[in-house]
C-alpha cells in the first residue's frame, strides 16, 4: 500500500453515528430525504439532454473576483427531488445560472485554497477535450497473433486447475503481448502522450464460455495492473453491469448497475478501472469519459474553494460511520524521484496532483438510494459546484460506443466517467464486466490516496478475506437492491 501523504485541507475528524447526525440542522431542505421516489426515467435522459455548450467556461486565477453570496439565496425546488439532483438536468442548471447572473450584485474575491494551482498544465496529455482526441491515441487493435497468445495462456491457466483468484502474470503467461500491455498501461498515467484511457479491441466474447471470458479478462488485465480490488462487502472482485429487469427486482429499487438508467459523471473508489463488453446495448449505453484536469481548468476559484472544503457529507448507506465528511477535490503533493530527477509526469507547479474524487449518489441520494435521513444536506453552494463539475465534464467528454470484445481501461485519478441510458431488446442485452485495479508503484508515485479517502479505498484494496469471482450476474433480490458501495460509489 502506498503511503498516504498529507493533504493541505484540514483532515475530517468527524465520524458520527446516525444519532449524532440527527442533531445536525441542515441549511437547506434536505435533498432526497423523502425516498421511495419511483420517477425513474427508463429512457435516455440527463446525459442526452446535456447542452454541450452549457458549461461555464470560466478560467480562474487566484485573485479573480467571484460571486459566491448570490448562490446562497437560490431557491430551487429540484433540490428536494433525488431523481433530479442525482442525474441533473441541464435546463435546470442553465436556469439557475441565469438566476445567479441576475442576482449578482456583490462580487467577492475568493482566493484559491492552499496548495491548489491556478491551472493544470494545459500541455499535459491528460488535459483534453473529447473533440481534441483522435482514435489512434486510445484504440489498440489486437492482432491474430495476440489472440492466439491469449488463448494459449487461457489453456495453460486451465491446466493448473486454479480458481479465478489464481490468475496472475505467472499463471497467465503472455510473453509477447504482456510487455506491450505493460507499456500501454503507462499511457493511463500520461506517459507517451497517453490520454488516461485506452481500448483494447479484437476479442470475440462469443468464442468463449462465461468462465473463460472472465479468465481472459482478468489475465490480460494483470498486465495493466496486478492488484484487484473488491467492489462490495462480499468481496466480489467482478461486477456485472447489466439490466436484470423487473423480474429480479422492480425498477424503483434496482440499483443503477443492474438497470438501464443513465449515470451522471463520477469517479469510483479505485485507482484504475476496466470494463469488458460482452455485449453492447441494442440502443444507447455509450461510455462517457472526461478529463478531470480539463474540468478543473474551467472551474471558478469559488467552486474550487467549495469543492476543496472538508464539509461534504458522504452517505455510507447503512455502514458505519453513517456518513463521512470529506472534500471532493484534493491537492496532493508529489515527491521527486529518489534520484533527485524531476518527476516526468506533467503535474503542476509546484509539483502537485489535483484529484477530483466523488460520486453524486452518496451526496444527493438517487431514486433507488434515498439519502439516509438525518445526514447533513448539501448547501445550494455545494449543489451548484457539483452541477458545474458535471456539466463541464459533459461539455468536454468523449462518448465511446463500446463493441463486443472491447476492454476499456482508464485512470480513475485523472478521468471522470458516466454512461448513457440504454435499451436492450430480445436479442441484444448490454452486459459489461467491471474490474477495479491498482498499480502500486504508480499510485505511490502519484502521491497515494488522500487520508480523507482512505476508508473506502482501503475497503477495496486492503480488505481481508478470499476474493469472490461471480461468473454470472448475481440475481438475488437483496443483492441488486442493496445500497452497497459498488452501486454508485462512496
Question: 232 vs 268, which CB is nearer to Fe ion?
Answer: 268
- Residue 402 CA to residue 222 CA, distance in Å, equals 21
Q: Candidates 26-34, 37-45, 221-229, 267-275: pick the segment binding Fe ion (CB under 5 A).
A: 267-275
Q: Note whether 302 and 296 are within 8 A (CB).
A: no
Question: 268 vs 445, which CB is nearer to Fe ion?
Answer: 268
Question: 149 vs 482, which CB is nearer to Fe ion?
Answer: 482
Query: Among all residues, whose Cβ is closest to Fe ion?
Result: 268
Provide the total of helices (H) and of strands (E) in the chain, helices listed first. Answer: 14, 19
Q: Is 268 in the site for Fe ion (CB under 5 A)?
A: yes
Q: Candidates 119-127, 264-272, 303-311, 446-454: pick the segment binding Fe ion (CB under 5 A).
A: 264-272
DSSP sequence for 314-348? EE-TTSSSSEEEE-SEEEEE-PPPTTSPPPSS---
- Residue 266 CA to residue 418 CA, distance in Å, equals 6
Residues numbered 163-182 forming contacts with Fe ion, rule: CB under 5 A = none
Question: 239 vs 332, which CB is nearer to Fe ion?
Answer: 239
- Residue 10 CA to residue 132 CA, distance in Å, equals 37
- Residue 220 CA to residue 202 CA, distance in Å, equals 13
Residue matched to cell numbers 449578482: 104
Question: 96 vs 390, which CB is nearer to Fe ion?
Answer: 390
Question: 268 vs 452, which CB is nearer to Fe ion?
Answer: 268
- Residue 102 CA to residue 70 CA, distance in Å, equals 9
Length of the chain: 490
Output the CA angle 376-380-383, nearest 5 degrees: 85
Report the nearest approach of Fe ion to the CB of residue 241 (Å). 9
Question: 124 vs 412, which CB is nearer to Fe ion?
Answer: 412
Report the nearest approach of Fe ion to the CB of residue 263 (Å). 7
Kind of pairing between the strands at 272-279 and 431-438: antiparallel
Question: 187 vs 419, which CB is nearer to Fe ion?
Answer: 419
Question: 348 vs 408, which CB is nearer to Fe ion?
Answer: 408
Residues numbered 386-445 forming contacts with Fe ion, rule: CB under 5 A = none
Q: Candidates 6-14, 139-147, 266-274, 315-323: pick the segment binding Fe ion (CB under 5 A).
A: 266-274
Question: 157 vs 436, which CB is nearer to Fe ion?
Answer: 436
Q: Candidates 61-69, 268-276, 332-340, 457-465: pick the segment binding Fe ion (CB under 5 A).
A: 268-276
Report the nearest approach of Fe ion to the CB of residue 359 (Å). 7
Report the nearest approach of Fe ion to the CB of residue 267 (Å). 7
Q: Note whether 277 and 293 are within 8 A (CB).
A: no
Rounded-to-5 percentages of helix, strand, coil across the chain:
30, 15, 50
Question: 309 vs 417, which CB is nearer to Fe ion?
Answer: 417
Q: Candidates 212-220, 230-238, 260-268, 449-457: pick the segment binding Fe ion (CB under 5 A).
A: 260-268
Dihedral sign from CA coordinates of 24, 30, 35, 40: negative
Size of site (CB under 5 A) for Fe ion: 1
Burial class (CB in 10 A: 0-12, 13-18, 19+), 176: exposed
Angle between the 90-103 and 380-395 helix axes, to the nearest 10 degrees? 120
| Residue 71 CB-half CA count within 13 A | 22
Q: Note whether 332 and 4 are within 8 A (CB).
A: no
Q: Is 324 in the site for Fe ion (CB under 5 A)?
A: no
| Bond before 321 cis per omega within 30 degrees | yes
Residue matched to cell numbers 480490488: 229
Report the nearest approach of Fe ion to the CB of residue 362 (Å). 12
The C-alpha cell at 53 is: 455548450
Q: Note whether 222 and 164 are within 8 A (CB).
A: no
- Residue 304 CA to residue 448 CA, distance in Å, equals 21
Q: Candidates 21-29, 186-194, 229-237, 265-273: pick the segment binding Fe ion (CB under 5 A).
A: 265-273
Report the nearest approach of Fe ion to the CB of residue 266 (Å). 6
Residues found near Fe ion in the complex (CB under 5 A): 268
Amino acid at each position: 500500500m502506498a503511503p498516504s501523504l498529507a493533504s493541505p485541507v484540514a483532515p475530517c475528524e468527524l465520524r458520527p453515528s446516525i444519532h449524532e447526525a440527527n442533531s445536525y440542522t441542515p441549511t437547506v431542505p434536505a435533498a432526497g430525504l423523502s425516498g421511495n421516489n419511483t420517477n425513474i426515467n427508463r429512457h435516455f435522459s440527463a446525459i442526452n439532454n446535456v447542452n454541450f455548450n452549457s458549461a461555464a467556461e470560466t478560467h480562474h486565477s487566484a485573485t479573480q473576483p467571484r460571486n459566491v453570496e448570490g448562490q446562497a439565496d437560490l431557491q430551487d425546488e429540484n433540490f428536494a427531488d433525488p431523481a433530479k439532483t442525482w442525474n441533473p438536468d441541464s435546463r435546470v442548471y442553465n436556469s439557475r445560472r441565469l438566476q445567479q447572473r441576475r442576482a449578482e450584485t456583490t462580487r467577492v474575491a475568493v482566493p484559491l485554497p492552499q496548495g491548489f494551482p491556478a491551472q493544470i498544465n494545459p500541455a499535459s496529455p491528460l488535459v483534453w477535450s473529447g473533440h481534441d482526441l483522435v482514435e489512434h491515441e486510445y484504440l489498440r487493435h489486437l492482432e491474430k497473433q495476440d489472440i492466439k497468445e491469449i488463448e494459449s495462456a487461457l489453456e495453460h491457466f486451465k491446466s493448473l486447475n486454479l480458481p479465478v483468484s489464481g490468475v496472475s502474470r505467472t499463471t497467465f503467461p503472455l510473453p509477447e503481448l504482456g510487455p506491450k500491455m505493460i507499456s500501454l498501461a503507462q499511457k493511463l498515467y500520461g506517459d507517451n502522450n497517453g490520454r488516461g484511457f485506452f481500448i483494447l479491441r479484437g476479442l470475440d466474447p462469443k468464442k468463449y464460455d462465461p468462465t473463460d471470458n472472465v479468465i481472459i479478462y482478468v489475465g490480460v488485465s494483470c498486465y495493466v495492473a496486478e492488484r484487484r480490488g473488491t467492489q462490495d462487502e462480499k468481496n466480489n472482485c467482478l461486477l456485472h453491469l447489466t439490466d436484470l429487469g423487473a423480474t429480479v427486482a422492480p425498477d424503483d429499487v434496482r440499483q443503477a448497475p443492474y438497470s438501464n438508467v443513465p449515470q451522471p459523471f463520477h469517479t469510483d473508489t479505485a485507482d484504475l478501472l476496466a470494463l469488458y463488453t460482452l455485449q453492447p446495448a441494442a440502443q444507447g449505453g455509450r461510455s462517457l469519459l472526461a478529463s478531470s484536469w480539463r474540468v478543473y481548468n474551467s472551474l471558478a476559484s469559488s467552486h474550487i474553494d467549495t469543492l476543496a472544503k472538508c464539509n461534504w457529507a458522504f452517505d455510507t448507506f447503512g455502514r458505519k460511520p453513517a456518513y463521512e465528511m470529506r472534500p471532493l477535490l484534493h491537492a496532493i503533493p508529489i515527491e521527486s524521484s529518489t534520484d533527485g530527477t524531476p518527476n516526468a509526469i506533467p503535474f503542476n507547479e509546484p509539483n502537485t496532483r489535483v484529484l477530483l474524487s466523488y460520486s453524486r449518489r452518496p451526496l444527493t441520494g438517487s431514486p433507488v438510494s434515498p439519502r439516509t435521513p438525518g445526514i447533513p444536506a448539501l448547501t445550494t453552494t455545494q449543489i451548484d459546484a457539483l452541477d458545474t463539475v458535471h456539466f463541464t465534464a459533459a461539455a468536454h467528454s468523449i462518448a465511446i460506443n463500446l463493441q463486443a470484445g472491447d476492454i476499456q481501461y482508464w485512470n480513475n485519478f485523472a478521468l471522470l466517467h458516466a454512461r448513457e441510458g440504454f435499451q436492450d431488446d430480445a436479442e441484444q442485452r448490454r452486459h459489461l464486466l467491471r474490474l477495479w485495479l491498482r498499480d502500486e508503484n504508480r499510485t505511490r508515485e502519484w502521491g497515494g490516496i488522500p487520508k480523507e479517502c482512505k476508508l473506502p479505498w482501503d475497503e477495496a484494496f486492503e480488505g481481508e478475506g478470499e476474493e469472490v469471482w461471480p461468473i454470472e450476474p448475481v440475481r438475488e433480490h437483496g443483492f441488486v437492491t442493496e445500497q452497497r458501495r459498488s452501486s454508485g460509489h462512496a
